[in-house]
Amino acid sequence: MRLGKRAKEMIRLNTVRILLIIVTFVYVLPFFWMISTSLKADQDLFLMPPKWFPIPPHWENYKQAIQYFPFFTYFKNSVIITSLSVLGTLLSSPMVAYGFSKIKWPGRDFFFYLMLSTMMLPFAVTMIPTFIIFKKLGLVNTLWPLIIPSFFGSPGSIFLIRQFFNTIPDDLIDAAKIDGATDWQIYWKIAIPLSKPVLTLVGLFQFIGSWNNYLGPLIYISDESKYPLALGLPTFLSRYGTHWNWMMAAATLSVIPIVIFFFFAQSYLIEGIKLTGLKE
């Protein structure tokens, strides 16, 4: 009986394993197809059945792609936008979160729920007047409209950090106050150092959000020299879309930074869900 139960469990787990291998395969396929295509000679693109493993690999597709696809310029712009946005959100969001968590003031909850409700607001509603503001400031066709808003905190990040601050015992803060520390000192010397995990997570989320933002750059940026990858790749697609091997070489180049990022961030992102309080 006991053995039977264990054997049953083994069968069940192996069924799960097979399903997972199939699913994983499906999730990897498009990447495989991308890389495989990026290394094919022009005439091999039309082969039936397709050559799965292009031998010899045609690395010159990458040289061709780079020639028409200034990857490093786009990459640089993406890096500028993303790193400044991460800086902005990390400077502003924890501060706001502290005001929503460790200081008791009348109206706090009202403002907090007001902030949460703005998360439901469709971007399209604020998009046009925000564009007009930046236009009047003469900042259209610069990277600034993509960076500046992050310095005012983002509701999602503020929410996450606040949840974390709420777990810091009040005794700790009261003790510091008795020692004569101001709220500002407590914020910098106690709250911030204790919150590294959630700050890392917030930084990573902002990184992904800025790096992947497409509509923002599409609205604000018209000079190709200021394009981030988000605009560079679709532009390349619309111009050289029939050269699928170059196209996929460019796509591979665009995905490589994400792979490297994922390699370092993976455990934070996947484990980080615990910090989001969504499990409540």
Partner 1 sequence: MKKSKRRNLIKGLLFIMPWLIGFTVFTVYPIAASFYFSLTEYHVTTPPKWVGFENYKKLFSDDLFIISLKNTLYYAAGLVPIGLFVGLFLALLLVQPLREIVFYRGIIYFPTIVPAYAFATIGIWFFHPYLGFINQILDFFGIPGPMWLSDEKWAKFTIILLSQWGAGGTALIYMAAIKDIPKELYEAAILDGANRFQMFWKITVPLISPATLYYLVTSTLAALQIFDLPQIMTGGGPANSTLSYVMYLYRHAFSYVNMGYASAMAWILFLISFVLTFIIFGSSKKWVYYFGSRR
Q: Please report how close the Cβ of residue 233 comes to partner 1 at its closest, in angstroms.
A: 5
Q: Please report how close the Cβ of residue 115 comes to partner 1 at its closest, in angstroms.
A: 6
Q: Cα(13)–Cα(278) distance, rounded to whole angstroms?
A: 28
> Measuring CA to CA, which residue among 175, 179, 198 is closest to residue 98?
198
CB count in 10 Å sphere of residue 273: 11
Q: CA-CA distances (angstroms) from residue 102 to 26, 75, 143, 231?
A: 47, 40, 35, 42
Question: Whose Cβ is closer to partner 1: residue 128's or residue 172's?
Answer: 128
Q: Cα(177)–Cα(186) distance, rounded to whole angstroms?
A: 8
Question: Whose Cβ is closer to partner 1: residue 73's or residue 276's?
Answer: 276
Q: Please report how close the Cβ of residue 139 comes to partner 1 at its closest, in angstroms.
A: 13
Q: Please report how close the Cβ of residue 117 comes to partner 1 at its closest, in angstroms.
A: 10
Q: Which tokens is 137 given?
A: 């400031």
Question: Whose Cβ is closer to partner 1: residue 24's or residue 225's?
Answer: 24
Question: Whose Cβ is closer to partner 1: residue 99's or residue 203's?
Answer: 99
Q: Please report how close the Cβ of residue 225 comes to partner 1 at its closest, in angstroms.
A: 18
Question: Whose Cβ is closer to partner 1: residue 24's or residue 167's?
Answer: 24
Q: Cα(186)–Cα(176) distance, rounded to whole angstroms?
A: 7
Burial degree of 139 (CB within 10 A; 0-12, 13-18, 19+): middle
